[in-house]
Amino acid sequence: MLLLKTEYTLWGVNMINFSNLIYLPVDVPNPPKGAVEFFDTIDYKDMIVDTYRTCHHIPIMDKDGTFSSEAKEVKGLVEWFENEIFTWSMPARMRIITTPPGGHNACHIDCSPDRIGTWQHKFRYVFQGDRTTLIFNNKEEDVRIHDVDKCYIMDGAWPHEMLNTTNKRKYTLTLGAPWEPQSDDKKYVEVLQRSYNKYKNYYISSEKWQLPENWKSLFQPEYDDQLYLLENYNGA
């Protein structure tokens, strides 16, 4: 990826440059307990099927900001979003990625080709499952995230996949489009900086990484007509 200065001054404060962020735990309270017990009662046939990522989704919020009936079933979850998350992000499409025991979410890229080169930070939390089985595909070697029981920000534009090596479902909360924070979003960057100060030993950067050879084939098929935009893109 693009090699940038690791620090810079913004709003009169020395800041870390998060353009190469791959993974960072977030300094916010974890969501309320009790969600897993409810998620376990939902049958796969009542979930959204994601053929591209090869997984199922439990809806939590529509992209227009409306909470689902499922979200309201988990005591305190709606309030947690409103008080702890939407104060620095925004209501957006949220789902629980549900990976069955022994399942594999196919390697994919969570943005369109025309958004490559912009911040594609995504919010995640693993309610149940092995956190280290989120894997980023690097040309040199694949990299797993750390086993930290915290919400985290990850780069959706870097090819990644997920496994479930346990005998229970893996539940991963996702917050994505149309939320797309950028470097001039003061509230968001301040959360990143605070989180980095606390969890910098767990921070993963793509600064010295190279994209895998097949990365252009990992976009959703519906974006094939945009691939020409990447003809001269080398990861910078």
For the cut 60, the answer to whether the pLDDT of residue 4 exceeds it is: no
128 DSSP β-pair partners: 171
* Listed residue (154, 90, 92, 155) closest to 118, CA to CA: 155
Query: Percent of the chain beyond pLDDT 90?
Result: 86
Quick one: pLDDT band at residue 9, thresholds 50, 70, 90?
low
Model confidence pLDDT, tens digit, residues 148-163: 999 999 999 999 999 9
Q: What are phi and psi of 100, to 5 degrees?
A: -70, 165
- Name the more confident of 109 and 17: 109
What's the pLDDT at 92? 95
CATH code of domain 7-201 = 2.60.120.330
Q: What is the pLDDT of residues 103-154, one digit of tens each?
A: 999 999 999 999 999 999 999 999 999 999 999 999 989 999 999 999 999 9
> How far from each other are the two terminal CA atoms of the chain, in whole angstroms?
5
Q: Is the pLDDT of residue 18 over 70?
A: yes
* Residues, the chain: 236
Contact 145, 92 (CB under 8 A): no
Token pair in block for residue 42: 């939902």
Question: Is residue 202 scored above 60 in pLDDT?
Answer: yes
Quick one: CA torsion of 81, 82, 85, 91, rounded to 10 degrees? 90
> Which helix H or strand E contains 199, and what residues bound it?
helix 186-199
C-alpha separations of 52 from 10, 102, 105 in Å: 39, 18, 9
Q: Is 226 helix (H, G, I), strand (E, B) or coil?
A: helix
